[in-house]
Amino acid sequence: MLNFLKPQGSLTDADRERGYSAMNRQVFAAAGAEGFVSGGFISAFALLIGASNFHIGILTAIPFAAQALQILAVVVIERLQMRKAIVILTYAIAYLTWLPVALIPLFIDVPHQGAVILLLVFVGIRGVATAFVVTGWNGWLRDIIPVDHAGEIFGRRMKIATVAAIITGLGAAIFVDWWKGFAAPGEEAFGYSIAFIFGALILGLGSVGFMARIPEPRMKTLGTNSVGGMLRTLAGPIMDLEFRKFIVYQFVWYFVIHLAVPFFAVYMLERLEFPLSLVVGLAVLSQVSSIIFYQVWGNWADRYGSKVILSISSSLYFLVIIAWTFTTLPDRHGGTIPILVFLHLLLGVAIAGVNISVTSLRLKMSPVDQSTSYMAAASLALNLGAGIAPLIGGAFADFFEIRSFRIAVQWIDPSRVADIPAFSLTGFDFLFAVAFLLGFITIPLLARIREEGETDTETLLDELQTQTRENLRALNSVRGMSYVAQFPIAGMRYVPRVSGLDIAFGVTAYQISAATKSLIDATTAGGETLRNVRRHVRVSVRSASRSVRGARSQGAQIAFGVTHGAVKAIADAGTGTTRQVHAAIRTAITATSEVAGDPLEVLAGAARGAVAGTIESGYTDVDIPKAVIGQARAAAPDLGVTEEEAVQVAAQSVVEAMSDLPVYEQAEAWDAILRELVAEDDERLAAS
């Protein structure tokens, strides 16, 4: 009867296909069950039966802290060589623990501290069982899923899981709010009990049944039956230098994130006094956003590497956290819900990227013959960080609950004094701000990790630019929307980056470019004079220098944006001339150097902006390499550099900006550069 629990010697293609099908059903049922018993749902239940913020921290921390038992799980699994049997048994126990949780309100009048303690005890039992599930399941998956398709497969699984969680989570929240509407005092908790029982019995145990149909390949024997062999297995991930860097990064990153994220739901339920259905509804927005981006991030992780995806998505994650502090000033305001809607959409994008990239990195960096121990070590680091943080975060939130920091603007006249709130931190706001600041330490840790086949952020942003332009091109036929299709995402690659927050600062380059293009567009169509081109470029530089924080150090960014916008405006007009392009480049260089610092940085930014604007607009009327180098040479005296320095920087910047073009176009660019340099030498010889 139990033959289905035994591992197979090898898996055929048919076995794997059958396994993938069962995996999809399993993840749908499992995520559906989690929709009833996780996130804002369990936090709301805990608050109802008497939990404090510190209790919420403990509740969040227990499942993660219990994952320390993965060390014991590795020993048991390596010794018995029966991953599937162990996982199925402990998985069933994990779901059955929700039955006594559901019965708590039947035996204890809530709110009551005893009810909270019982909840924590059963969540702890579930955490112990889950430690064995995670350990065996991760190694099991590693042996089934091909590494080169990991991003695609996990993207599909996570998308299915998100759909299931949306359906069940939102349905359960609506049911609980409906139950509260007619329940007698003291009986509101029974609505949660019904949801727990339904989720655990039907969906949870159904997930266990689907998992039992997934085939398990036989584990590779590493000679770990002896004590020494077992110790070598456990120490393997720690002794592996590259994997150790990944472990440290995971611990720190999940520690920082879980200082704040577990309290988002509590913040909305208590501080903003939202109903549970609205809290879960906002979470659904994040999940919908994740569904859209799981496949995108998954495909890109396979093509460009997981590390670059993790860099971009984690940066976005931290920006979302700090933005939560603006949802109250110090109380709810008219923009609270719109801000939260926007933040939940961005949060979904970030979560999708982080989940895909972290999971793929674990698989890629884990040796096939040691997958159980490596995956367990990575999971242990993650869970320790995520388990410690909520305890600190909960105590932190309770401490600052009665403290605040506010900055207000006052209007005083003879009849009244009006206080206008400008900035406010209180309670959870301090927690969000601290998590954001600590997020900066994770970026250098990520940079130390080496991933086979990894690419850089610029390459991915180039792909993002291409995808966005294709998606927005359809808007050209919509009146007033053609301008949107010109969004110059290429500008993001030349924006100075602060601790990896790539996306946060890309908008500035766009604003500069868009403002310049708009300024020149107004008159170019009617025949713009050289004087007006120069005047408009100078106006754009002055405007940009006033709006960009730290303009002295942002010369490359300003020069890129101004030159990019000017060249696109001249190209789009259809009546532009070579002299106008030359005038725009020269003026952008000299005008920006007057307000910025390093002149060679300014020159490089202008050269890249001119090339990017030409490529994006498809402009072929001007030999842009020749134009850039010629204007760089002419501007050298104004910049206080030699002609040789100016030409070298300009030529190098042109080549870098054209590096993603087809080979024959790069060759043409090189020919133009060489012709210009040869012409320069001829002029010097003639003059001498």
pLDDT in tens, 558-599: 888 888 888 888 877 765 677 888 888 888 888 888 887 788
Domain map of the chain by residue range? 17-443, 505-687
| 242 has pLDDT over 70 | yes
pLDDT tier, 340 (very low <50, low <70, confident <90, very high otherwise): very high
What is the pLDDT, as a whole number, of residue 144? 78
**Mean pLDDT, residues 73-85 taken together:** 82
User: Residue 411: which H helix or E strand, with range?
Assistant: strand 404-413
What is the pLDDT, as a whole number, of residue 93? 92
User: Residue 417: which H helix or E strand, with range?
Assistant: strand 416-426
Q: How many CA atoms lie within 13 A of 306 on its CB side?
A: 28
**DSSP type of residue 622:** S
What is the pLDDT, as a whole number, of residue 117? 92
CB atoms within 10 A of CB 368: 11
- 652: its two tokens: 């190098």
Pairwise pLDDT comparison (363 vs 341), residue with the higher score: 341
pLDDT tier, 666 (very low <50, low <70, confident <90, very high otherwise): low
DSSP class per residue in 57-78: HHHHHHHHHGGGGHHHHHHHHH
What is the pLDDT, as a whole number, of residue 489? 40
Q: Which amino acid is at 570?
A: I
- 83: its two tokens: 């991953």
Beta-ladder partners of 221: none
CATH fold of 17-443, please?
Answer: Growth Hormone; Chain: A; (1.20.1250)
Q: Any residues with CB less than 8 A from the CB of 570 and at least 6 apart, and which?
A: 520, 524, 528, 533, 576, 577, 580, 581, 584, 619
Percent of the chain residues past pLDDT 70, beyond the cut: 75
What is the pLDDT, as a whole number, of residue 639? 84
pLDDT tier, 531 (very low <50, low <70, confident <90, very high otherwise): confident
pLDDT tier, 111 (very low <50, low <70, confident <90, very high otherwise): confident
**Mean pLDDT, residues 236-257 taken together:** 83
pLDDT, mean over the chain: 76
pLDDT tier, 150 (very low <50, low <70, confident <90, very high otherwise): low
Q: Do residues 18 and 215 make contact, with C-beta atoms less than 8 angstroms apart?
A: yes
What is the pLDDT, as a whole number, of residue 125? 93
What is the pLDDT, as a whole number, of residue 233? 62
Rounded Cα distance, 247 and 562, in Å: 43
Rounded Cα distance, 495 and 502, in Å: 8
pTM: 0.56
**Mean pLDDT, residues 484-495 taken together:** 40
